[in-house]
């Protein structure tokens, strides 16, 4: 076999604006009375059409009007979800990885519209708990389109999977095998192997994955318990920045397949896990395709009936959700404040917004994200390219709770003219944000405004959602 090409590693880019860069701005289209589209999804919020920036501006206008009339909690932060962006990401996936079936990682963002859209688009679902399995089954997804991708499961969750016919599930230890043998002997098991996840934001190998040296022992145990092991899975870590990690992992999976044959199994599933990033997706897809061609040629996969699946999460939803936050307070640090440095590198202006690390920005703590605000309004007016970049000052942005850890952005640059009541926006907020938000200190979680986008993409989203019911 020829040596695989090694792709040069890339410096990880969160696709957010650094403080030293020119501030982006959101164009301010005129407000309009958007008409919800009836997609026959009872119990869900209305779905609008139109550009997401328009709906962000409309939401701000509505909030400001509600505030002027004294309405309670009028300045509440809100998301705008552009479902057409989810649709476009799916088209990217099909173009770049046509032979790899996506099983969406529900944990990343279990939004009901997102799940229904992905169901209509034909994806499978990666579930990690009884609750996620129940949510996916409740929208009519067939149990065969679910993988219970949690190697260490409570006994009650395994019983629930058995009752629900969710047979495909992962393991990485002998205790799990004995548990499954007792509770769900008909399960279709997938051995999760350990890979190199050193280039990822969230390293999962410290918790899950059997070293290759342990795989023969695990398969012997499974064989002794008369359990059906059908394949191999791995996860290079969430937010992987080095495409070569997938090549190394697929090489290890190839060795695990050989161990399976030696144990008397004929594996028919390869799960290449998650870790897909928006900015590096095509490079990761190329690395996966090259490695599959090298270690699992298509002709051999077809002969052996081997399916290849993956567990993308943030790739589908990160860029589809943007967040608008209201500046609820402003503090200028002056005089003898000991925290101020003589070199003027410590922000003197502190802005407080109505969402923070206990809410949507929990991604800063749990997902190692770094976020940068952009300006939506200045002095109550929507920004232009001039007002967004003029007369900037060093500042910090804080969440609303009483905890000192609630810092959204320790150092950034924003227009000096910002006032209490103005709005800041945050892009790429669809992954690991809403799903882990709490109501600490009594602050409510942020609402979501949905749009199907514009043009042919919007029409495709509407057709897909209607087809799910």
Active site amino acids:
402
Of 143, 102, 128, 91, nearest to 275 (Cα)? 102
The total of other beta-carbon atoms located within 10 Å of residue 139's CB is 16
The total of other beta-carbon atoms located within 10 Å of residue 146's CB is 25
406: tokens are 């609630």
Handedness of CA 439, 315, 310, 458 (dihedral sign): positive
Of 457, 359, 349, 447, nearest to 399 (Cα)? 359
Cα angle, residue 171 at apex, residues 167 and 174 outer, rounded to 5° = 120
C-alpha 74: how far from chain center: 28
Range 426-449 burial, b when 16+ CB lie within 10 A, else e:
bbbbbbbbbbebeebeebebbebb
Of 264, 256, 266, 272, nearest to 303 (Cα)? 266
**Rounded-to-integer distance, Cα 291 and Cα 461, Å:** 33
């Amino acid at each position: 076999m020829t040596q695989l090409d090694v792709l040069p590693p890339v410096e990880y880019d969160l696709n957010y604006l650094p403080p030293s860069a020119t501030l982006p701005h959101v164009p301010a289209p005129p407000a309009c009375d958007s008409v919800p589209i009836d997609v026959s999804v009872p119990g869900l919020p209305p779905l609008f059409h139109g550009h997401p920036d328009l709906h962000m501006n409309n939401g701000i206008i509505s909030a400001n009007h509600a505030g002027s009339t004294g309405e309670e909690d009028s300045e509440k932060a809100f998301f705008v979800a552009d479902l057409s962006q989810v649709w476009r990401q799916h088209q990217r996936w099909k173009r770049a990885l046509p032979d790899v079936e996506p099983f969406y990682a529900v944990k990343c963002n279990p939004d009901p519209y997102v799940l229904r859209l992905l169901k209509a688009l034909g994806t499978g679902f990666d579930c990690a708990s009884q609750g996620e399995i129940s949510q996916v089954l409740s929208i009519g997804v067939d149990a065969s389109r679910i993988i219970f991708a949690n190697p260490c499961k409570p006994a009650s969750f395994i019983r629930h999977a058995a009752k629900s016919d969710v047979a495909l599930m992962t393991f990485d230890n002998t205790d799990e095998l004995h548990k499954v043998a007792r509770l769900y002997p008909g399960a279709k098991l997938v051995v999760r192997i350990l890979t190199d996840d050193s280039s990822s934001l969230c390293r999962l190998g410290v918790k899950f994955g059997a070293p290759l040296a342990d795989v023969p022992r695990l398969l012997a145990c499974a064989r002794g318990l008369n359990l059906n092991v059908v394949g191999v899975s791995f996860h290079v870590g969430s937010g992987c920045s080095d495409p070569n990690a997938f090549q190394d992992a697929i090489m290890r999976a190839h060795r695990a397949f050989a161990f399976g044959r030696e144990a008397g199994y004929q594996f028919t599933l390869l799960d290449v896990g998650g870790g897909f990033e928006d900015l590096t997706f095509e490079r990761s897809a190329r690395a996966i395709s090259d490695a599959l061609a090298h270690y699992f040629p298509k002709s051999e996969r077809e002969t052996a009936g081997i399916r290849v699946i993956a567990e993308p999460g943030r790739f589908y939803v990160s860029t589809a959700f943007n967040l608008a936050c209201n500046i609820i307070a402003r503090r200028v640090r002056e005089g003898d404040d000991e925290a101020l440095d003589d070199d003027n590198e410590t922000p003197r202006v502190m802005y407080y917004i109505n969402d923070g690390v206990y809410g949507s920005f929990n991604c800063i703590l749990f997902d190692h994200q770094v976020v940068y605000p952009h300006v939506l309004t200045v002095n109550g007016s929507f920004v232009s390219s001039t007002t967004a970049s003029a007369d900037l000052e060093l500042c910090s942005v804080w969440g609303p709770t009483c905890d000192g850890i609630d810092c959204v952005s320790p150092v950034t640059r924003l227009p000096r003219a910002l006032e209490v009541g103005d709005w800041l926006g945050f892009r790429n907020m669809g992954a690991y944000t809403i799903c882990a938000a709490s109501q600490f200190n009594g602050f409510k979680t942020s609402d979501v405004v949905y749009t199907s986008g514009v043009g042919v993409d919007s029409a495709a989203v509407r057709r897909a959602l209607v087809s799910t019911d």
